[in-house]
Every structure is written in C-alpha cells, then in structure tokens.
Amino acid sequence: MHTISRFVFTVVFFVTLPMHKKLNLLLFVLLFAVAPTLAQQPGAPVDVQHYRFALTLNDADNVIKGRATITVKFLKASTKLELDLYKKNTEGKGMVVTAVTENSRSLKFTQDSNKFVVDTKTAQGSIHNYTITYQGVPADGLIISTNQYGHRTFFGDNWATRAHYWLPCVDNPADKASVEFLVTAPLKYKVVGNGLKVLEKTLPHNKKLTHWSETAQLPTKVMVIGVAGFAVDNSGNPDGIPVYTYVFPEDKEAGFKSYAVAKKILPWFVKRIGAFPYKKLANVQSKTVFGGMENAGAIFYYEKSVNGREIETLMAHEIAHQWFGDAVSEKSWWHVWLSEGFATYMTNLYMEGTYGADTLKSRLAADRKAIFNFEKKYMAPVVDSIFKGPMINMLNDNAYQKGGWVLHMLRRKIGDTAFWKGITAYYKQYNGSNANTEDLRVVMENASSTDLKQFFNQWLREAGHPRLKITWDYNTADKTVAFHINQLQEKPYQFTLECLVDGKLYKTEVKNNAATFIVPVASATAIIKVDPNVNLLAEFDTGGN
C-alpha cells in the first residue's frame, strides 16, 4: 500500500509513514475520528463463506443502495448473527438496514453505531444464507469523489477495517470469503472489481449492470470496486494471466505506457514464489486515501502515479502483496509485517534481480536509516502485541522497513536456496487462509533445517537494534588485525558480522557483549570495511580507527 502526504499524527506519538502508505493528512484525520482501535477488533464465531453485493450507484447524490447476500457457517450454536456495518450518524452518513431475510422469511434485527445484529437460531456447523437490504451515504470505505479532471468516481478503499462503512461483513482479516459485485451504474461508467467480469449488460434508463466474481478467498480489506470513465488496455498475458490497465482517458497515453511495467514484474514473482493467486491483474488509476492499495487482482494507485518516477517500485510492492497480504493474510493486525514487510523486501529483491546487487544495498541502507529514525520516536517490537491504538499507526517503519530487513537477514542466515524454498512453501501452505509470525518461523525452520526461535524472537519480538563500537589494531609480529566488537545496548544480540579486509570477506559470529576476532593482513595499511554488503541491521561506530 502507498500514500500521498508524508506524516501522520496521533495524540500518542508521531509516525513517519513509509513511501508505500503515506496518507493524505486531511483524510487521515477523518479516518482517525471513526476508525476502531486494534483492541476493539473481536474474533467472530462465524465463518463467512461467500459475499454477493448488489449495489446501485447514481450521479444525483451519494446514496448507494445495496442488497447483500451472505453465506455464513456458524462455528458454534447461536441465536444471533453479528456483522460489522456503520450505522447512519448525525451528519446523515452511514448505512440503514431496511430488511433482512433468510429463504424469503423476514428476520428481526438491530443496529448500533458499528454493529448489525440479526435474530437467528442456528446450530453449530450449520450454513445459512442471509439477504440484507440497505442504503445510505458511505461515511468512508467507498470514496465517492471527483478526480483531478473534475469527473465523478467511486472507489472502494477498505484497509484496514473500513469495508463495513459500505458493506455488511465480518470486517476482520482472519475471516476470508469469496465475493461477487453486481454494480448497476450510469451507462457512461466502466466498472472494475475483484476476479473476472462475468457480465456487462445495458439496462433501460441509460444504466448498465456489471458483474465481477472472485472465487478465491479474500479478506474484506482487499474486496473492492472501481467505477469511473476509464480507458482500458490489455498490456499482455504473462504466464497466461491477463494484465489490464485502467486509467482516466486524459492519461491514456502516459498510463498505458507506464503501467505496462506490470507485465514484467508479475512473471518475476511467479517464477520465484508460485502461481499468481488470481485470474487477472488490473492496475487502476484511482482517487482514494492511499497512494497504492493491493486490492486482490485490482490494485488501485494514486492519480498522479501514471507519471510517477517510482512507478516500477510502487507496482512491484503492490503486486508482491497479491501473494503476501491478499492470498496469505495475517491472522491479526499485530502481524501486519507479514504483509508489509514481505512486500517491502520482495520489492527490494525484484530491484536486485532487475538492476543488480548495488541497488539492493542502497535500498537496504536507506531502509536501515529510516528504521533508526523511527525508533527515536516510537520504540516497539515489530510484532507489537501490546499496541492498543488506531490501526493506521501499525503502518510504520517497523512493519515495512524493519520487517523487510528481518527477511533480508533471514535470507543471509539460511542461504538463498533454503530462503526461497521456505517462501514458496509458506505461500503454498497458507494460500487462501491466514498465518502469523510463528507459522512463518515453523515453515522456514523446516525449509532450512535450522532452529530459528532465537532469531525470530530477537528481531521481531524485541524492540531496538544492535549498536556496535568496533575498533581494530595491527599486530606487526604475525601480520594480523584484531577486531574488537562491543555491543553498547543493554541486551546483547546474536548476529553474523562481516568485514572486508583488503578485498577479502571475513565473517564472525557474535553472541556476547564483547567479542574479538583476528584475520591475517598483508600490511598495517589494510583497507577495512565493516558490513560491506549491508547485511546487518545495526549502528556502527568505527570512529576510533
């Protein structure tokens, strides 16, 4: 996910968002006023199997009319079905339910500010279909606006739990389901959504029905539609996957050209991770909150992205999310690094594979600097299990850059072969479902035949990083250099330190507060570089040499 302005404030702390999710500040303030906190996200005693959303949009006002048919499996016997849906507020924004039926039988229901409860007696393991009729002006989630050319647009924008502002659902990443969107809108619009387009039909009164259907299991955060006056191009079909571009007609020439890089990125990931999880990839110019949002099979990018200098890295990040975040989703928001850290590092790997090792080094160095700056504002582990604030603040340099750095150090620790073996196994095992950090650890241990408990705990469940004072001295008698390593932080880390001496790379394992290792040299004027390949997330003080 990418964003547009650089800073996000809360009453608790100040967070510098990474490039991939910089937020428009005004929009964030609006989100902050209504967005739930992490502590408010409950587990649900149901498993939604399928959503079918029939929506009617118009140009006269911002009212949407919805008819949602939801297939639900009850995980225990119940007398209630509880769904997430934002009720109409004092400003007139929100959804009002007018009817609920099961098999044409009317059911009683109640609404409060964020919940919608249906009276329904069910047995454990039973499956039911409920049809919910509702309407209202979305307070969020579906962004109804005008684009930079003054034309009206409608774009779903659900991260993290904003789907319930326009869709009745279980708005939790741990509950995944297949989804259909049947959109009735003025004839002039084109509609894009998850999955494949199975119907486009002209209706009376200058309207059109468009039906998109996705059979893969998705979290609500990436279920979307986009409705606008699009120009559409099929830039290619790498590995048999159609890659489409949807841009505003005014940006047709630039957009078709710049977005076409997706057909190069997609097969690079397919080759290394596994089959693309969806039946098409649409890259869509949009008007939403984020600069980039990884909606499954229908990625939304900010308006000016068609001329953006970083379009390739932006697309690589969002396309990587299709595997990590979309197909394999985190079990809870505490593990959001499994989405953002993966997309960050997969982008770095793509750039390394495309442009060389020096590109990876420069990106890692920049990420390392961002991590250290962030820790000065907020010191917490990557898996921040005590965090209780607004979920938007989970999108920080810990989740992105530090999560990516952990994957880089893991790759260096177990080697490329075991790393990619583990990545492909992780995707294969959890595709269509959810995973947490421990699930990843187990998979990577199996792939590498290595105990990774200490590594995962140290880098992901503890805050901070090593701060190293490194000195060295030359021994004339035996022509060696002795490196003296002192860890300045309170608790010692365990890591591999690399030093380049006269062009030869040496490695040593450091486990204690102080360590010394000795290497041969030709003379007292040896050229020495510490961490020459940017492989350790640490601060280095070598000023005494």
Domain with CATH 2.60.40.1730 in the chain: 45-323
Span 290-298, average pLDDT: 95
SS3 391: helix
- Could you give the CA distance from residue 521 to residue 478 in angstroms, rounded to a whole number? 9
Average the pLDDT over each of 14-23, 105-114, 212-221, 271-280 and give the range with the smallest value: 14-23
| DSSP codes of every residue in 179-228 | EEEEEEEETT-EEEESSEEEEEEEETTTEEEEEEEEEEEE-GGG--EEEE
Domain with CATH 2.60.40.1840 in the chain: 467-541
Please say if the pLDDT value at position 25 is more than 60. Answer: no
Span 446-455, average pLDDT: 98
Query: What pLDDT score does 411 carry?
Result: 98
Span 435-462, average pLDDT: 98
- Could you give the CA distance from residue 517 to residue 521 in angstroms, rounded to a whole number? 13
Span 422-447, average pLDDT: 98
Please say if the pLDDT value at position 545 is more than 80. Answer: no
pLDDT tens string 323-332? 999 999 999 9
Of 460, 455, 531, whose CA–CA distance to 494 is shortest? 455
SS3 514: strand
What helix, strand, coil percent values describe the chain, rounded to 5?
30, 35, 35
Residue type at 156 in one-letter notation: G
45-323 falls under which CATH superfamily?
tricorn interacting facor f3 domain (2.60.40.1730)
Domain with CATH 1.10.390.10 in the chain: 332-460
- Could you give the CA distance from residue 493 to residue 406 in angstroms, rounded to a whole number? 14
Query: What pLDDT score does 59 carry?
Result: 97
Chain mean position to CA 318: 8
Label residue 470 by pLDDT band (50, 70, 90): very high
Label residue 544 by pLDDT band (50, 70, 90): low
Of 527, 535, 536, whose CA–CA distance to 472 is shortest? 527
Q: How many CB atoms lie within 10 A of CB 370?
A: 19
Question: Phi and psi (nearest 5°) for 219?
Answer: -80, 155
Looking at every residue in the chain, the average pLDDT score rounds to 92
Question: What's the distance, Cα to Cα, between the start and end of the chain in Å?
Answer: 43
95: left (phi over 0), alpha (psi -120 to 50) or beta: beta
Reply yes or no on domain 467-541 having CATH 3.20.20.70: no
Q: Assign domain 332-460 to its CATH architecture.
A: Orthogonal Bundle (1.10)
User: If you search the block for the tokens 């399928």, which residue do you land on?
Assistant: 50
Label residue 192 by pLDDT band (50, 70, 90): very high
Q: How many CB atoms lie within 10 A of CB 142?
A: 25
Of 419, 52, 30, 434, whose CA–CA distance to 215 is shortest? 52
pLDDT tens string 256-287? 999 999 999 999 999 999 999 999 999 999 99
- Could you give the CA distance from residue 237 to residue 61 in angstroms, rounded to a whole number? 39
